Amino acid sequence: MKKPVILINFKAYDTSFGKKGVEIAKQIEKISMEYSTEIIISVPPTEIYRIASEVSLPVFAEHVDSNSLGAYTGSVTPEMVKEAGGKGTLLNHSERRIRIDEIAEAINRSRKLDLDSVVCVDRNELVRAIGTLKPTSILIEPPELIGSGISVSKARPEVITEAVEQIKEFPEVMLIAGAGITSGEDVATAIKLGASGIGVASAVMKAKDPMRVVEEFVRSAKSV
Amino acid sequence: MKKPVILINFKAYDTSFGKKGVEIAKQIEKISMEYSTEIIISVPPTEIYRIASEVSLPVFAEHVDSNSLGAYTGSVTPEMVKEAGGKGTLLNHSERRIRIDEIAEAINRSRKLDLDSVVCVDRNELVRAIGTLKPTSILIEPPELIGSGISVSKARPEVITEAVEQIKEFPEVMLIAGAGITSGEDVATAIKLGASGIGVASAVMKAKDPMRVVEEFVRSAKSV
Amino acid sequence: MKKPVILINFKAYDTSFGKKGVEIAKQIEKISMEYSTEIIISVPPTEIYRIASEVSLPVFAEHVDSNSLGAYTGSVTPEMVKEAGGKGTLLNHSERRIRIDEIAEAINRSRKLDLDSVVCVDRNELVRAIGTLKPTSILIEPPELIGSGISVSKARPEVITEAVEQIKEFPEVMLIAGAGITSGEDVATAIKLGASGIGVASAVMKAKDPMRVVEEFVRSAKSV
Amino acid sequence: MKKPVILINFKAYDTSFGKKGVEIAKQIEKISMEYSTEIIISVPPTEIYRIASEVSLPVFAEHVDSNSLGAYTGSVTPEMVKEAGGKGTLLNHSERRIRIDEIAEAINRSRKLDLDSVVCVDRNELVRAIGTLKPTSILIEPPELIGSGISVSKARPEVITEAVEQIKEFPEVMLIAGAGITSGEDVATAIKLGASGIGVASAVMKAKDPMRVVEEFVRSAKSV
């Protein structure tokens, strides 16, 4: 993962999968190339292979299960993500919380496969706890701001500055900020506050013109 | 789903995904064509698109989440399965139990999309309960026999005969038997006892020569 | 359980436990005796023994786990509820959904111990499914009305009438209606529509004068 | 919690609740007094009030939910445990794993109520992670040894010594060792290795003569 990190979580919108998913991914790829800026997209498990086959962006899973390979029905393992062309995974998103032992196991398994892991936390109290497990990144998102249109950068900048301070104990772990980010200014502010990048979902996936939004984000991120 | 149903659950073995997964699927397809017998395979979510693009077999999901489309991270919805080329889904496998309201919701959503739904139950007591929800099929599997190599046909034939009796109340729902099925004789016995087909996983996925096993199953199924 | 059923779910309000919990239970007992009408209360697991020791009302658990006795940490089993003086249990409340196999197991274990089981469902589609498992009662509660102050009796009477129709297939199972019930009129309407009684929580537990509310409910229930 | 910590987890054995539960608690109390050594017992939620009313031992919950007070059905909150006479709680036992945000919330809520919190972890990797959340104690238990009769002290002493090293970063947090502890020697070894005490369940609860076992443990703990 390269700074500034721009991570777009596709979630499960009707534009997140199938042809529409591929289409948005291609548009994002275009901007990524135009601005020579890496943009990470996390997509539903059904879409990893398809999207990773069609675009050069790093494609992440939105979640992986921590069970080993074997007699498990319905699970998505790091090995499957890797084999499908994925480069990493989100873990513990507020819409998909998992247990601490599962987080540890999924980080370790991902690391062995050279997959990045981005662990979401909802409060500063958990930054150190997750930091000890050495994921690639921690994404801090106050859940009350997710999808709200009120950005963490503006509404709760202290969440970012405190997390940036906390992450210094773990120099190999990056700190990303998310929740309610909708404008280029939100992105720039987060980075100025010390974050290595931002995570976003609805502002892009629900936009009439996702391209315009992503472009604004990338420009702002580069301008800092 | 056509009688006799032969459903092979790929689970999460190291042969269940990536190139190996595609390879086994192609071998199964070959036998399916040779014997003009439909064989259903259920595969990990990451593999649905890839395998469905390469083989003509009906590809099922191993599980679907019942959440609607929207701000959900890490979920696999019926819409995604459909869009990826899937034809149906397993639900409530003993390795992925879900709640009754989730089962009902997933069946209804699948039905609207013309996806088949196969709901697993672990005991006769639940056949009627699930029958009232009108899935395409119910797969009865005593969990203690799953992966045991001791087949339900031999060890507990009364489970099948009782389920066959119970399912008559729901003429549109098929009854499939599973757990421990390893030989052609197990398949034939299940069908003679009144099951519309069988479900199998380890006997195929862990076989040295999966083809031989599948071929034996298909022959036996057709011989009844 | 005797008709008309009046079931008050204590939930986890600050008045639901400790001295306050006992106090409310005693007030409810007073009305129960005054009107010679059975009133069932379901209380947190920590309160069953204490409240059952102090009042003559049937005390229910709000939930029981379905694991057997043994090496299980943190569980509440039917045996513990019985031993603590409980007479039954709620199951599958919308705030504590469980799986279909857990519901079946908990009903069976409760039945063996002569404990009543009241299984909550959120829609008519599940009435028959749960009916096949033969709990003592089914409590139908459209979740969007729970705690809303808008009663199922008024807002969605067809939910009750349809459930009453469906339950006839299971003559030994009672049908109770709940969600948003706040007035005596709501109670009377539910019973007139064919319900064997009502379930209520916030209207009593959050009332300034719980006694007045319970008294109104009992009077209305008896008046039908 | 005082050193040496001796924590007996009652779990859900048939001797863990009702009259038998009280009886065992009283026998443990006797030894506790005889040897002037604090012994903590964690008991099912239904038993906290009853046992805490009858014995002077510190009674802990086996688990608490992290939801706040309010419209929650079936939950056990720290407030309820406190009100019932409890002095603390186990959290995240391998038989009752919870999420990291739930662990954090439960620790904080317990601390505000002056309840002790003992968080179980299954591997050294999680000691620092949980340490950052400042529970009263961390109980490390390799799950493959739980109930095995093969003690962590003998089979995997390095688990204890490493954890003792790790916990030094958090001087206010105690480290307790558990899993498979059956003899006084196991207890003494754990304490010699640097643990502040031990956790035990089956060796006491399934013993023919629990008293003899507890007495041996206490003697050994005091002898170090």
Interface of A with B in 183-212 (CB under 8 A): 201-202
Closest Cβ opposite residue B77 in set A12, A69, A201: A12
**Any residues with CB less than 8 A from the CB of D207 and at least 6 apart, and which?**
D213
> Which residues of C are less than 8 Å from B123 in CB distance?
101, 104
User: Each residue's pLDDT tens digit in chain A (224 positions)?
Assistant: 889 999 999 999 999 999 999 999 999 999 999 999 999 999 999 999 999 999 999 999 999 999 999 999 999 999 999 999 999 999 999 999 999 999 999 999 999 999 999 999 999 999 999 999 999 999 999 888 877 778 888 888 999 999 999 999 999 999 999 888 899 999 999 999 999 999 999 999 999 999 999 999 999 998 88
- pLDDT given at position A171: 96
Element (H or E) spanning B170, and its range?
none
- Name the least confident of B87-101, B208-222, C147-161, D191-205: C147-161
Q: Alpha-carbon torsion B68, B69, B72, B77, what sign? A: positive
DSSP A142-210: -GGGTTTS--HHHH-HHHHHHHHHHHTT-TTSEEEEESS--SHHHHHHHHHTT-SEEEESHHHHT-SSH
Closest Cβ opposite residue B202 in set A71, A79, A90: A71
Neighbours of chain B (3+ CB pairs under 8 A): A, C
Give the number of C-alpha atoms closer than 13 A to the C-alpha of residue A32, restricted to the C-beta side: 20
Return the residue of C nearest to D61 by Cα: C74
- pLDDT given at position C153: 83
Question: How far is the C-alpha of C221 from the C-alpha of C224, rounded, in Å?
Answer: 6
Interface present between C and A (3 or more CB pairs within 8 Å): no
Asked whether residue C146 carries a pLDDT value surpassing 80, the answer given is: no
Contact B11 A95 (CB under 8 A): no
Closest Cβ opposite residue B129 in set C122, C123, C133: C133
- Name the least confident of B77-86, B155-164, C149-158, D159-168: C149-158
Three-class HEC string of C162-211:
HHHHHHCCCCCCEEEEECCCCCHHHHHHHHHCCCCEEEECHHHHCCCCHH
Q: What is the pLDDT of residues C9-45, one digit of tens each?
A: 999 999 999 999 999 999 999 999 999 999 999 999 9
Task: Decide if the complex's ipTM is over 0.85.
Answer: yes
Measure CA D147 to chain center: 14
Q: What percent of chain C clears pLDDT 90, i.e. is strictly above it? A: 86
- pLDDT given at position C164: 96
User: Each residue's pLDDT tens digit in chain D (224 positions)?
Assistant: 889 999 999 999 999 999 999 999 999 999 999 999 999 999 999 999 999 999 999 999 999 999 999 999 999 999 999 999 999 999 999 999 999 999 999 999 999 999 999 999 999 999 999 999 999 999 999 888 877 878 888 888 999 999 999 999 999 999 999 888 899 999 999 999 999 999 999 999 999 999 999 999 999 998 88
Contact A12 B73 (CB under 8 A): yes
Return the residue of C nearest to D203 by Cα: C71
Beta strand extents in A45-86 (DSSP E only): 59-61
- pLDDT given at position A129: 96
- pLDDT given at position A81: 98
**Any residues with CB less than 8 A from the CB of C214 and at least 6 apart, and which?**
C6, C8, C27, C28, C31, C39, C204
Nearest Cα of chain A lies from the Cα of D55 at a distance, in angstroms, of: 35
Residue of C11, C73, C96 to mutate for D, most D C-beta atoms under 10 A? C73
Class at the top of the CATH hierarchy for domain A5-223: alpha beta
Q: What are the residue boundaries of the structural domains of chain C, listed by start?
A: 5-223
Tell me if residue B139 falls in helix, strand or coil: strand
Element (H or E) spanning C16, and its range?
none
> Residue A15 in contact with residue A24, Cβ under 8 Å?
yes
